[in-house]
């Protein structure tokens, strides 16, 4: 876009920015041009941003901020950048129990007001070798102890807490997508459009612990639902699973539960040979997997409630580990 084509009024600029962040390389570059044109929010401070076609550009931080509508803060005394005292959260996923019921996906979407195309909990069809049957593999954010995403964020919007969680502050997020590129597990989702959230979320105050109300032009992901943990409530993905596949708990207390069964975390991981996915990367995830040994379901049952399109997708995209 040429400079002479840029909007001149403040209202036009806000609309342009809002649309430009969604449209890709050419228009997001226009944000930088708008700063040169004397935008009223320009600060002169440049931050790097990644366009959808993989180009690295510089954008004025003030204009990126203008592209978001800020939500009402909660106004409480909690420092959301610090962890919940005395806690070290952990998740354990028993692959022998998963049949792709997808309740973990839908419950997470309902909880956070996500559109159907945005999944913070994803379920893949995995196969270790051609000699073994495929199995279903739920994948949240791993909340790594050595998170690559945190290191690359230019504005400190994504951060690591003392309770093990990696969160995103959408009041700081400028939508540069560096964190998405840095995450080796593809656990992050970009909010391309205004979310259609329930009325109760529209009027809710925003915190990085609840991740709602979300907003266009920012990044979201599984957050382990710390707002619920403060109340002693398990995440919806845990309680929503009909097969008790997902366990959640506290390393320091050495206790995990799926809502109906409770185990010592250390004993379960030891006795069932729990492991980290792609452990060789050295990110030290806080999600452990129990191998799909003595499975409760044949993997074919995971196709029962899928649409024809979903069935084709899964059969054509089996993830092979070896």
* Contact predicate 256/247, CB 8 Å: yes
Is 60 exceeded by the pLDDT of residue 70?
Answer: no
- 10-24, 52-66, 114-128, 246-260: least confidently modelled range: 10-24
pLDDT digits (tens, 9 = 90+) for 210-228: 988 778 899 999 999 999 9
Question: What is the Cα 91 distance to its own chain's centre?
Answer: 15
CA gyration radius, the chain: 21
Is 90 exceeded by the pLDDT of residue 15?
Answer: no
Is 50 exceeded by the pLDDT of residue 24?
Answer: no
CB count within 10 Å of CB 220 equals 22
Is 80 exceeded by the pLDDT of residue 174?
Answer: yes
Buried b (16+ CB within 10 A) or exposed e, 306-318: eeeeeeeebeeee
Residue with tokens 């049957």: 133
Count Cα atoms within 13 angstroms, Cβ side, for 256: 23
Alpha helices of 37-76 — where are they, by DSSP H? 61-66
- Give, in words, the CATH class of 89-315: alpha beta
pLDDT digits (tens, 9 = 90+) for 245-264: 999 999 999 999 999 999 99
Which of 198, 199, 195, 200 shows the shortest CA–CA distance to 214?
195
Average pLDDT over residues 136-140: 98
Q: What is the pTM of this model?
A: 0.78
Both structure tokens of 125: 């069809």
Report domain extents, the chain.
Answer: 3-66, 89-315
* Contact predicate 111/225, CB 8 Å: yes
Residue 106 phi, psi (nearest 5): -70, -35
Which of 118, 86, 112, 141 shows the shortest CA–CA distance to 210?
112
Confidence of residue 35 (pLDDT cuts 50, 70, 90): very low
CB count within 10 Å of CB 11 equals 8
Distance CA 95, CA 98 (A): 5
């Amino acid at each position: 876009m040429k400079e002479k084509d840029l909007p001149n009024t403040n209202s036009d600029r806000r609309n342009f920015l809002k649309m430009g962040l969604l449209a890709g390389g050419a228009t997001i570059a226009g944000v930088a041009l708008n700063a040169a044109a004397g935008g009223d929010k320009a600060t002169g401070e440049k931050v790097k941003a990644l366009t959808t076609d993989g180009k690295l550009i510089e954008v004025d931080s003030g204009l990126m901020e203008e592209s978001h509508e800020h939500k009402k803060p909660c106004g409480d005394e909690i420092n959301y950048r610090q962890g919940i005292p005395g806690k070290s959260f952990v998740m354990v996923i028993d692959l022998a129990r998963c049949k792709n019921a997808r309740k973990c996906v839908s419950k997470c979407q309902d909880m956070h007001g996500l559109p159907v195309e945005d999944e913070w909990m994803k379920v893949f069809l995995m196969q270790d070798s051609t000699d073994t049957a495929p199995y279903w593999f739920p994948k949240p954010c791993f909340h790594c102890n050595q998170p690559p995403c945190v290191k690359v964020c230019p504005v400190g919007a994504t951060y690591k807490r003392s309770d093990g969680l990696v969160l995103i502050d959408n009041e700081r997020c400028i939508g540069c997508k560096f964190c998405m590129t840095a995450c080796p597990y593809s656990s992050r989702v970009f909010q391309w459009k205004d979310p259609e959230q329930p009325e109760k979320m529209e009027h809710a105050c925003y915190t990085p612990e609840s991740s709602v109300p979300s907003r266009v032009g920012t990044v979201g992901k599984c957050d382990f639902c710390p707002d619920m943990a403060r109340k002693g409530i398990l995440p919806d993905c845990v309680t929503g699973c009909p097969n008790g596949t997902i366990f959640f708990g506290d390393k320091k207390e050495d206790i995990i539960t799926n809502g109906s069964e409770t185990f010592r975390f250390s004993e379960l991981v030891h006795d069932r040979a729990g492991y980290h996915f792609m452990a060789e990367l050295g990110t030290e995830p806080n999600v452990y997997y129990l191998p799909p040994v003595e499975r409760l379901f044949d993997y074919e049952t995971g196709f029962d409630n899928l649409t024809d399109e979903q069935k084709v997708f899964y059969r054509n995209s089996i993830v092979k580990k070896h």
